[in-house]
Structure 1
Amino acid sequence: MSGIRDRDTKPEWLVRRALHARGFRYRLHARELPGRPDIVLPRHRAVVFVHGCFWHGHDCRYFRLPSTRPEFWANKIARNQSNDTRASALLSEAGWRVAIVWECAVRDRRRDIDAVADALAQWLHGESAIWEIRG
């Protein structure tokens, strides 16, 4: 991969690097918050979840239910989605703003991480409570 480390292509790393380059400072995986958000921006009272399309059952080309043990996987993914909904609701009730960046929005080289990060930065500077970007 021409000298690029594997972790540098993971969606969470791409989002974190892009936010940091725009001057945002954050905490990672705050255990005291519901759902343990991937990125916590206390100054903006905002959290960012970077959801993997498979693990969170996103309706995109990256999600396909495995043919082996489909019942297990369907239950597992439904549980993950339920946990996501509950965590977002609890965070909102506690006064946190919630953003969700889906893996498909940043995964492909064709995707423009800068455009995603600019939109996320605009949301962070705004007042909207919930924001989501999908591929």
Structure 2
Amino acid sequence: MTDSVSSLDTLTASERSARMALIRSTDTRPEMRVRRLTHGMGYRYRLHAKDLPGRPDLVFRSRRKVVFVHGCFWHRHEDCPRTRMPKSPERREYWRKKFEGNVMRDQQHRDALERMGWTTLVIWECETTDAERLAALIRWFLDGANQ
């Protein structure tokens, strides 16, 4: 860490590292909900295809469709209560840039996939709590959208 950042941080470098290591990028609770439900509905998929931009969470190759399961906080789900700004006023600019970069990168991945002929769906973390609505969304996307 730089001196300016570490002087603002209330945790030691090893404590910060341990906390950050707990943040998962795959097999998150929302992703597992989507995977279990999708599999239970009879759909088969591949996970985190390294050959596709953004390494989509679920890949349906025969349908040329992919699903991203995004956390509302990190990927900035608009108008969602989980999309809040961290409280540290000293680091507000850091977080603003970080989140803007995440959103821009996500859009670039979706655009690249679309140019390659793939259809994308983003399922937000907050949308994974209602299994009925989630199942309807998945069914619509895989069986009805863009066909």
TM bucket normalised to smaller: 0.7 to 0.9
Alpha-carbon shift at residue 26 of structure 1 (Å): 0.7
3-state SS of the aligned residue for 2:50?
coil
Q: Which residue of 1 aligns with 2:136?
A: 118
Q: Which residue of 2 aligns with 1:128?
A: 146
The counterpart of 1:97, out of the listed 77, 95, 119, is 119
Higher helix share: 2
Q: Which residue of 2 aligns with 1:63?
A: 83
8 Å contact 1:26–1:42 — kept in the other structure? Answer: yes
Q: Which residue of 2 aligns with 1:132?
A: none
Alpha-carbon shift at residue 9 of structure 1 (Å): 7.8
Judged with a 3 Å threshold, the aligned counterparts in structure 2 of structure 1 residues 14 and 58 are, in CA distance, closer, same or farther, namely same
Q: How many residues of Structure 1 are paired with residues of Structure 2 in the alignment?
A: 118
The counterpart of 1:81, out of the listed 94, 100, 103, is 103
- Structure 1, gaps ≥5 residues long: 1-7, 130-135
Judged with a 3 Å threshold, the aligned counterparts in structure 2 of structure 1 residues 89 and 116 are, in CA distance, closer, same or farther, namely same
Alpha-carbon shift at residue 120 of structure 1 (Å): 1.2
Counterpart residue identity of residue 64, structure 1: R
Counterpart residue identity of residue 70, structure 1: R
Judged with a 3 Å threshold, the aligned counterparts in structure 2 of structure 1 residues 83 and 9 are, in CA distance, closer, same or farther, namely closer
Normalised TM-score (structure 1): 0.81
Counterpart residue identity of residue 12, structure 1: E
Structure 1 or 2, whichever has the larger Rg, is 2
8 Å contact 1:18–1:114 — kept in the other structure? Answer: no
Give the Cα separation in 2 of the matches to 1:123 and 1:57.
Answer: 22
Counterpart residue identity of residue 105, structure 1: E
Moved over 3 A (4+): none
